[in-house]
A and B are shown apart, each in its own frame.
Chain A
Amino acid sequence: MSDHYYNADDLAKFGNIAEYQKEMSDKFFSYYGEVFKDGHLTAKEKSLIALAVAHAVQCPYCIDAYSSDAYEKGYSEQQMMEAVHVAAAIKGGAVLVHGVQMMNKVKEIGM
């Protein structure tokens, strides 16, 4: 094992997960392929969603893959950054909306 957790070359080895569990891996990749095809949303729209989600889950492999994919599919730098802001707003909002829970609790126990 290398002395750091993430290695850019590992992205290309994603398919190797089949070595330890082929059946599940095959099912996952076939599902994955299906998800990203043109459907009621275009493959291009899905790519931008994936870019935002990649940032929200903070996966460096996904950020690498979908930064390229979304740019290749024609999104501009500004559009891609706005997608990242959407992810940030949702994540920030998700933290802040829990503030209501905190307030509820404080109101419950406070005098």
Chain B
Amino acid sequence: MKSLKVLNHRLSDSSNQLAILEDDGLHRHASFKARLEALGEFPLRANGVEILQINIGKMCNQVCKHCHVDAGPDRKEIMTIETMRLCLNTLANSAIKTVDLTGGAPEMNPNFRWFVTEIKKLDKHIIVRCNLTIILANKKYHDLPEFFRQNQLEVVSSLPSFSKDRTDRQRGDGVFEDSIKALQMLNEVGYGISKNELQLNLVYNPAGAFLPPSQQALEAEYKQALLKEFGISFNNLYAITNMPISRYLDYLISTGNYDKYMEKLVSAFNPSAVKNVMCRNTISVSWDGFLYDCDFNQMLELPVNTPHTLHLKDFNLSALSTREIVIKQHCYGCTAGAGSSCGGEVTVLS
């Protein structure tokens, strides 16, 4: 399977995605902006910057059907060591506490390990979004669990189901088996066992055109099933809503599910999720050093609304800390039901 970009698909152009999301001016779905206005939450503003989420490249060993990055082995965009140095410089000069490394498969960046050890020297908490199968993909990655442990990384990994069938349908044939092996390897070096250290958190996202069920109930089921079937332990399960952008948008449109899915997101709008959307405390950095409100806005090429600080070279923490967030219709994906972020639900439902 190839990326939309390599296929030269019309959705590889973010302006086409935005035109669809903005309903081609038809206004069939209530506008996200109007919903925020009604709540007195417009403009939505950042409330500091606590997390720097760095996308260090779009290259990935997988080509998942729902991928909002349109990642895959055919993507060549990768962060250079010079841009990594800019990240380190920014981190050294700011009180940002957490660095969230994502991709693609971040481990495929040739400077990944160097970058991690340099960030560690700055005493930051590091999260790595590891797709699990990368650990098995090549001999040179087999020691990743040990590398993660040595650097005390928090590992966040996708496993859309504890059943092989659903996982492979979303992520590709054989992904489930490799993911299980990788989780066992992570457990072996100590991940997912204790409450406080070597955190191993799993991500559930729906394999289809629907919203995630209750995170709490799902976590209990995952824990029971993974332990019983495969002897695997982990810390938390994050239930994440699929964003109607990029390859997932293509899936929704090509299966005739787009309108219904948007209706689901719109009708599940939860006002209490608005306060905790992740863009309020995060800045997302692209492989080439540009700044965005979140990884989704990055993929839609919607830069931060701070004209003088668009790139790491001009990083101005105070301007970014109170910036107005760029919102569009895809933001409904963050406020549906219990809300959704890179850390799962953002509200506690009764």
| Residues of the A chain whose Cβ atoms lie less than 8 Å from the Cβ of B208 | 71
Write the chain A residue with the least CB distance to B165.
A76
Instruction: Say how far B204's CB is from chain A's closest CB, in angstroms.
Output: 9
| Residues of the A chain whose Cβ atoms lie less than 8 Å from the Cβ of B218 | 74
Task: Name A5-45 residues within 8 Å CB distance of B.
Answer: 12, 38, 42-44
| Residues of the B chain whose Cβ atoms lie less than 8 Å from the Cβ of A38 | 217
Write the chain A residue with the least CB distance to B267.
A12
Q: Is B213 an interface residue (CB 8 A)?
A: yes
We find that the number of chain B residues with CB closer than 8 angstroms to chain A is: 15
A-B contact count (CB 8 A): 25
Say whether A43 contacts B163, CB under 8 Å: no
Say whether A68 contacts B217, CB under 8 Å: no
The secondary structure that dominates the B interface is loop
The secondary structure that dominates the A interface is helix
Complex CA gap A75/B217 in Å reads: 13
Complex CA gap A76/B212 in Å reads: 15
- Given contacts A72-B206, A72-B210, A72-B211, is CB(A42)–CB(B217) below 8 Å? yes
Q: Is B194 an interface residue (CB 8 A)?
A: no
Q: Is B173 an interface residue (CB 8 A)?
A: no
Instruction: Say how far A11's CB is from chain B's closest CB, in angstroms.
Output: 11
Residue pairs across A and B with Cβ atoms less than 8 A apart, 15 shown, are A12-B267, A38-B217, A42-B217, A43-B217, A44-B221, A68-B210, A71-B210, A72-B210, A72-B211, A72-B212, A72-B213, A74-B161, A74-B213, A76-B163, A76-B166
Complex CA gap A33/B214 in Å reads: 15
| Residues of the B chain whose Cβ atoms lie less than 8 Å from the Cβ of A72 | 206, 210-213
| Residues of the A chain whose Cβ atoms lie less than 8 Å from the Cβ of B163 | 76
Write the chain A residue with the least CB distance to B222.
A74
| Residues of the B chain whose Cβ atoms lie less than 8 Å from the Cβ of A76 | 163, 165-166
| Residues of the B chain whose Cβ atoms lie less than 8 Å from the Cβ of A42 | 217
Write the chain B residue with the least CB distance to A37.
B350
Q: Is A91 an interface residue (CB 8 A)?
A: no
- Given contacts A74-B221, A76-B163, A76-B165, is CB(A43)–CB(B210) below 8 Å? no
| Residues of the A chain whose Cβ atoms lie less than 8 Å from the Cβ of B267 | 12
Binary CB contact string for chain A from 38 to 64 against chain B (1 if under 8 A, 0 otherwise): 100011100000000000000000000
Instruction: Say how far B208's CB is from chain A's closest CB, in angstroms.
Output: 7
Write the chain A residue with the least CB distance to B212.
A72
| Residues of the A chain whose Cβ atoms lie less than 8 Å from the Cβ of B213 | 44, 72-74
Binary CB contact string for chain B from 192 to 226 against chain A (1 if under 8 A, 0 otherwise): 00000000000000101011111001100100000
Instruction: Say how far B205's CB is from chain A's closest CB, in angstroms.
Output: 12
Say whether A44 contacts B210, CB under 8 Å: no
Task: Name A67-83 residues within 8 Å CB distance of B.
Answer: 68, 71-74, 76
